[in-house]
Structure 1
């Protein structure tokens, strides 16, 4: 199965490219389904990518 690549930046090291997750709370709704919370990665804000850091280099003599 093909994998999608993140062309706009580097994969987030905090969520490894899986920025949105559904967490079950353990309780059930009246129709029998589980109550879930949708949570975004706090580091990349749900995008799965981070901008490349600028690297400062100094040129010596």
Structure 2
């Protein structure tokens, strides 16, 4: 991270909810957060938006 005028630049990869993010390192100025209704097979789902951490398929 780069320090600018005494402030540390916020990062979308700092592991902290910061800089206008809606969840840790996602949303707001960062890439969208993974959800169980985003139409994308991500976050360990079995099929798109179901299974794994989402409701069963």
Category of TM-score, reference length = shorter chain: under 0.3
Q: Structure 2 length as normaliser, TM-score? A: 0.24
Q: Structure 1 length as normaliser, TM-score? A: 0.23
> Which structure is larger by alpha-carbon Rg, 1 or 2?
1
Whichever structure has more strand as a proportion of its residues is 1
Greater relative contact order (CA < 8 Å, ≥ 6 in sequence): 1
